[in-house]
Structure 1
Amino acid sequence: MRFAFMPILSDEPSSWPQLLAMFQAADEMGFFESGWLFDHSSSAAVNTSGPCYETWTVMAALAHATSRLRLGTMVLAVARRHPALLAQMALTLDTIAQGRLELGIGAGWRELDHLPQGIPFGTPASRADRLDEGCEILVRLLSGHTVSTHGRFFTLTAARCDVPPVQRPHPPICIGGGGERRTLRTAARWAQHWNHPGGRVEDFSRKRLLLLRCCAQLGRDPSEITTSATIPGEDSAPERMVEEVAQLADAGADLVVLRIRPPHEAARLERLATALEPLR
């Protein structure tokens, strides 16, 4: 089993120096292969106190402040950044990080991350369609193609990115979400990583099997897709956490992402690593 972590918001806010210290500690530890950041427009969107830093700005700072740890977004809402702009951002950041970017993207699930900023939210079906269309554009631009398209959600005319990809053919795309009718099929088409955002191990197992079925229908080799699940990182109740990780391993998960509430301290990562080391 491989491990990652993701600090999240709660009613006990963390400062930028705390987040920076946590990622730098993980960079030095060697236990965690990657660190991930959420994508919310404000703390009010998730009913917590702030501050809620902008994801991509923080990613750029962390890329410069670390040297080993892979850095990912769990996950960007596709409507909040046009895929042509996001492709340029991703290739630039992957250059800064020397090939350590994990580009996580999803359909979006919170109205409050969209409507206050004037961004259309839409129905679950339209959000799923927008994700699939956006992923196709992203993959083509990230791979160096010139793209012209007039789709339902995005229009591009001879768009291209001048920054060459460090990772070939492009930075890996992680699609987060468990939508059984559309999201899993989009992951089977475009993703190198699928993340189950949380819930019962039985749900992860069922959705993973559906992902494998979608891969078979599309002629995609499922071994090309890392499967992961996000769970609470419980340094205060490590036995329960270790049991859940073991069950996920039995269900076929390649990676577990530990969701960590404040305080975001390096000592918490060390306690988690100690508890989980036998499962690595």
Structure 2
Amino acid sequence: MRFAFKTSPQNTTWSEMLAVWQAADDIEIFESGWNFDHFYPIFSDPTGPCLEGWVTLTALAQATKRLRFGTLVTGIHYRHPAVLANMAATLDIVSNGRLELGIGAGWNEEESGAYGMELGTAKQRSDRFEEGCEVLVSLLTKETTSFEGEYYQLTEARNEPKGVQRPHPPICIGGNGEKRTLRTTAKYAQHWNYLGASPEEFARKREVLHQHCAELGRDPKEITLSSHVRLGEDDDFAKVAADAAALGEQGLDLAIIYLPPPHRPAILEPLAEELAKLG
């Protein structure tokens, strides 16, 4: 099993996040770092501080040398996929090919409503997301893109220069929806992020993903399987390692350790030592 970490840019400060990422860049067991893409804090006081995800991610990419990085995940309705494609290609270039492109259908009603971003029904979100994935992949790989969909329309659209990674930065889709999200993952993604519950539920969702892969003629081994594993405020590193191991027994490839604020670089070494015991 491989390991990563996540720092949500909410209820924290830039200096705290930066210190964690720069420390983690020197700890080999962490292969990647992740943030989220929200405008309000989630699952906490929505009036609290929340730094913008892509600007923060770009700054963290420049402050590190080794870590791969991405958002878990960008709601497709937050940015037009043509804008997102340009952002992703540029960030892949300036980071020398370290970007993981994390995307999802969107879910946060509070911030979407406050900003006048139409979230839509579950079906509308899934339909829009599928269109957005097609547009993104086309713009990241083709010279021009023309597309006529219900949500997006493009006419000989360009996205130059392309990113460093070929055919494009790996796409990570986050979500557990069995009928639509996992099928879209099987069609477009190189990485699926499980939102997190029991290992048994992960195993069941994994099998659904594999069924979609079989129907689409896709080798499921081409898709990395990851999950959030939360570190509590009690810093129980042994529990985190045990939770990751239980998911690993069900086929998890990458455990992404979700670090709670306040973000403290001092916890990284003991966390890494505990994770290393899993081999």
| Structure 2 residue aligned with 1:2 | 2
User: Residues 233 and 272 of structure 1 are in contact (CA less than 8 Å); yes or no, is this contact kept in structure 2?
Assistant: no
Between 1:54-63 and 1:39-48, the stretch displaced more is 39-48
Q: Please name the residue that 2:250 is paired with.
A: 251
Cα distance between partner residues in 1 of 2:7 and 2:251: 24
Aligned equivalents of 1:69, 1:214: Cα separation in 2: 31
Secondary structure, aligned partner of 2:48:
coil
Residues of 2 paired with 1:50 and 1:163: CA distance? 37
Change (3 A) 1:44 1:176: closer
Please, which of 186, 189, 196 is the counterpart of residue 188 of structure 1?
186
Q: Would you say the 8 A contact 1:9–1:261 is kept in 2?
A: no
Q: Give the distance between the partners of 2:129 and 2:137, measured in 1 at CA.
A: 12
Distance 1:45 1:252 in 2: 29
Contact 2:9 2:53 in 1 (8 A): no
Contact persistence 2:100–2:169 (CA under 8 A): yes
Distance in 2, matches of 1:163 and 1:113, equals 32
* Distance in 2 (alpha carbons) for counterparts of 1:39 and 1:92: 18
Q: Cα offset for 1:48?
A: 4.8
Post-superposition shift, 1:38? 0.6
User: Structure 1's 97 and 212: CA in aligned 2 closer, same or farther, altered over 3 A?
Assistant: same
Structure 1 position 64 matched with structure 2 position 62: yes
Paired residue type of 1:278: K
Q: Is the 8 A contact 1:233 1:259 kept in 2?
A: yes
SS in 2 for 1:231: strand
When residues 145 and 211 of structure 1 are mapped into structure 2, their CA distance, relative to the original with a 3 A threshold, is farther
Could you list the runs of 5+ residues in structure 2 that have no partner in the other structure?
Answer: none
Which blocks of at least 5 consecutive residues in structure 1 are unaligned?
none
Residues 9 and 50, structure 1, Cα contact 8 Å, conserved in 2:
no
TM superposition score normalised by structure 1: 0.95
Q: Deviations over 1:118-152 (max 9, x none)?
A: 11011111111111110011011111341111101
- List per-residue Cα deviations over 1:169-224 (Å, max 9, x = no partner): 00000000000110000000000000001111111110011001100000001111
1:9–1:48 contact (8 Å) kept in structure 2:
no
Which residue of structure 1 lines up, in the alignment, with residue 263 of structure 2?
264
- Quick one: distance in 2 between partners of 1:44 and 1:246? 27
AA aligned to 1:102 is E
Indicate if the aligned counterparts of 2:9 and 2:52 stay in contact, CA closer than 8 A. Answer: no
Aligned to 2:277: 278
1:227 aligned counterpart, secondary structure: strand
The equivalent residue for 1:150 is: 148
2:40 matched to which residue of 1? 42
Q: CA deviation at 1:45?
A: 7.5
- Distance in 2, matches of 1:45 and 1:230, equals 15
Tell me, in whole angstroms, the C-alpha distance in 2 between the residues paired with 1:166 and 1:50: 37
Secondary structure of 2:30's aligned partner: coil
Write the distance in 2 (CA, Å) between the matches of 1:145 and 1:223.
Answer: 29
Q: Secondary structure at the match of 1:206?
A: helix
Contact 1:3 1:258 in 2 (8 A): yes
Name 1:241's counterpart in structure 2: 240
Identity %: 50
Aligned residues: 278
Deviation at 1:30, TM superposition (A): 1.3
Partner Cα separation in structure 2 for residue 126 and residue 9 of structure 1:
28
